Amino acid sequence: MPSFRTMVSFVFAFLLLPGIALAGGAWVPAPGDGDLTLGFSQKTANRSWDSRGDTIIHTSNHDFRYAYLSGELGLVKRLSTTFLVTYLDGREGPPGDEEKNSGLSDAWFGLKYALRQDQWPMAIAATLRTPIFYDIKGPYSRHLFDANGNLLGNSPEWRGLLKTDLTLSYLVSHSIKDGEGWFNLEAGYTLREGAPADQIPVSGELGWPLPWRHTKVKVSAVYVQSLGNDSPRKPDDRFGSRPGYNFNNASMAKIGASFIFALDHDRKWSAEIGYNQWVWGKSARQYDEPFLAFGRRF
């Protein structure tokens, strides 16, 4: 696996800790311009795919309810910073006997640089995923104990993947229907810390205007291919592997659809309601995810 510490040092020194490539595609806002989004989603699953892609039905549920705040801000010409911070209200276990855990979860920070801003905008991005808001120093434990070994409660460390990763990506976009619609495509490489394997993520998005008060429909697809270079679990890794299932070498695909509504005459405020479905995977959960988000451009 490539040296993760070297890559992270490069990002912090040269990029000065920035955000994540979000729905803005390859477009980069002018200095001082940008957007903010406040969203809510619920990911649930009681099935998963094993390492061969066959379905497994579980007696326990995953019910992850997220609130998230994301945004993008133009810094200088051609360069923007992006961020995504998540809050999890999580439930895992048999129905009626779930373990619960609530608090800040994973966060993403990155930079996006425009290579060209014409009819086919293109950009490159560097995005850092971090567990900084819930990580505890030392080996991973699902529960917290006092000095006498008495159970104190659930550890915040199961609110996320507990590892840092860095995604370098290339983006291309195109405006459709006089700017009322759009097309985004993004592909990258994710360097992952610890036991998890590196990944190649690819995503696409199409927005199309509807003939009613600036309403739009959006369809999207995400594919993540694990590269199989995972390593044995160490004490500070959250996940390991077992015969027939290796979360650290998981691949998946999901599709989504949503409607976007303008909330004011100037179309600076918007609302989006939609649904995502995981449709394929190996060593991955079969999630479904309804979501609602409110956005503001400035």
Q: Are 20 and 84 within 8 A, CB to CB?
A: yes
pLDDT at residue number 213: 82
Which domains, from first to last, does the chain contain? 4-297 (2.40.160.40)
Mean pLDDT by 10 residues, the chain (298 residues): 41 34 78 98 98 96 97 98 98 92 98 97 98 95 90 93 98 94 98 98 98 94 98 95 96 99 94 99 98 97
CA distance linking residue 38 with residue 263, whole number of Å: 14
CA distance linking residue 280 with residue 277, whole number of Å: 9
SS3 for the chain is CCCHHHHHHHHHHHHCCCCCCCCCCCCCCCECCEEEEEEEEEEEEEEEECCCCCEEEEEEEEEEEEEEEEEEEEEECCEEEEEEEEEEEEEEECCCCCEEEEEEEEEEEEEEEEEECCCCCEEEEEEEEECCCCCCCCCCCCEEECCCCCEEEECHHHHCCCCCEEEEEEEEEEEECCCCEEEEEEEEEEEECCCCCCEEEEEEEEEEECCCCCCEEEEEEEEEEECCCCCCCCCCCCCCEECCEEHHHCEEEEEEEEEEEECCCCCCEEEEEEEEEEEEEECEECCEEEEEEEEEEC
pLDDT at residue number 13: 35
For 6, other C-beta atoms within 10 Å of its C-beta total 10
pLDDT at residue number 151: 92
pLDDT at residue number 199: 99
CA distance linking residue 108 with residue 19, whole number of Å: 6
**Using CB atoms within 10 A of its CB, is residue 119 exposed (0-12), middle (13-18) or buried (19+)?**
exposed
